[in-house]
Structure 1
Amino acid sequence: MNPLVDLSGKRGLVVGIANDSSIAAGCAEAFSRCGARLAATYLNEKSRTYVEPVAKALGVEWLAPCDVRQPGELEALFERVRTEWGGLDFLLHSIAFAPRDDLHGRVVDSSAEGFALAMDVSCHSFLRMAKLAEPLMIDGGCLLCVTFYGSERVVENYNLMGPVKAALESATRYVAAELGPKGVRAHAISPGPIATRAASGIERFDELLERAAATAPAGQLVDIADVGALAAFLVSDAARRITGTIIPVDGGQHLMA
C-alpha cells in the first residue's frame, strides 16, 4: 500500500493507544505506514497487555508508562525521548478521562473534584506535553490532540466532556500561537463518533452512532483509519503552513443541524 505522505526520519510519540481499535492506534498505523519512527505509551501494567501487541505490529521502537496523574511520570517519558532520540518531530495526545458519576450526570451536578480531574487528564495534560515537547522540537514540529463536536453543541449524554473538550480546543489555539514562532504547530482533530473502548463509557453511545450515520452527508461513519490519514498529513511537511485548527473528520456531520 502506498504511503499517504512521506514521514521518513520523523520521530513521533503516540500517547493513548488502548487497543487495536483505539483512535491512537489508527493514527499510529498511518504514521508507521508513512515511514515515521514511533514510540508509544501505556497507562499501567494491566493496559500494557493490550498495547504491546499493537505496538509490536506497528514497529514501535519503544514503550513507556504514562499516567499523567502520577507525579513525575510524564517528565520521565519526555526525558526518555531525549535520551533515546535527542529530539521529537510530532506528538499525538489521545487521552481523556472523567469519573463515571460525573460523566453520567448533568454538567451542573458535576463535582468540583470530578471536573478538575477531567480537565487535568483530558486538557491540561496536553499543555504539559506541549511544554515538555517544545525544547525537543529543535527544528519545529507538530502537536495533535483529539476532540469531539460535543465541545460546540450539546450532545445528549456527552455531558461533562463537552466543556472539557471545549477547553482543549481553546488550549490548542493558544499552543499554536505561543509556539508558532519556534516552528511548532498544533491541531485538534475532531472525529465523528467511533466505537472505541473510551467511547463505551458514554451512556447510550450506540444511539449516537446511529444518529451520526443517519445525519452525515456521506451517509456513513468514519473509522480510525480516516482519522489516521488526517493525522499523518497534519504532521507532515505538506501541512507546514497549517496550524491552530480544529479539523472535523466526520463525513460532514458537523454541517448538519
Structure 2
Amino acid sequence: MNPTARVFISYSHDTSEHRAFVLALANRLRDEGLDCQIDQYVPGFPPEGWQRWMETQIEQADFVLIVCTPLYLQRYRGNDPDGGRGVNFEGVVISQTLYDHYYRNTKFIPIIPVQGSLDDVPLPLKGYTTYTLPQDYTALYRLLTDQHATPAPEIGEKVALGGSPPPRFISSKENKRNLSDTMKAAYIGAIAAVAAAIIAGLLALFSPTSSISTRGDCSSVVTGDINSNLTLNCSKKD
C-alpha cells in the first residue's frame, strides 16, 4: 500500500446534496491514508487561480476520480455555456491526457453515484471499469491502495513427467535403408552359421579319439576307445 498516493476528485456542483456526497468521499479517503484533494478544501480561491490549480491537481494526482452525472457529462462536452466552466476545463485536460498516452489509462477512474447511470460516463472513459458508490467503495479502495483481492501466485518449478518418449518419425527413405541393413545382417549371420557347421564336421571327422579300424580277416574289430578292444569271431562262408 502506498500511503502517500494522491487522489483528485473531478465533479460538478449539481446540488448541495451532491457536494456533500463528494465531501464525505474525500474525507473518508483522507482518513484512510490517501492524500485526496477537492476544491472545497481550498479557502476562497487558490493564489494561482482556479484554472492553473485544476491543471496542477490533475497532473500531480496518481488517480483522478470522475463523478459522472448528467450535468457533469454536459459540461465535460462543453454543452453548458451558462454553467460552471471548471468541469469544461477539466474535461479538456482529461481528454488531452488520454489522447497523449494513446488511451492507456491507469489514472482516470469513472465514479457513478447510486442514482447515476453508465450513460453519464464520458465516451473516452467508457472502456474502463466504473465504480458505483457507496457499494463499490471497497473495490475502489483496493485499487487506490494497490491491494488486489486476488493476486496471482508466484510461478513454481516445472514438473518433470515420466513415460516413454514419443515415437520418432521415420521417413520412407530412412525406412528402406534400415530394411536393407537388416537383410545384410541376416545374410552375414546365415553364412557364419554354415561355416561354423562345416568346421565342426571336419573337426569331428579327423579327431583321433573317434577312429574305427577293421581287419580284413574279420578276426578282430577295434572300436571306440583305443584302450578297450572287442574281438569278434567271424565264420567263413563256404
Structure possessing the higher relative contact order (Cα contacts under 8 Å, 6 or more residues apart) = 1
The structure whose residues are more often helix, as a share, is 1
- The interval holding the TM-score normalised by the smaller chain is 0.3 to 0.5
Larger Rg: 2
When normalised by structure 2's length, the TM-score is 0.38
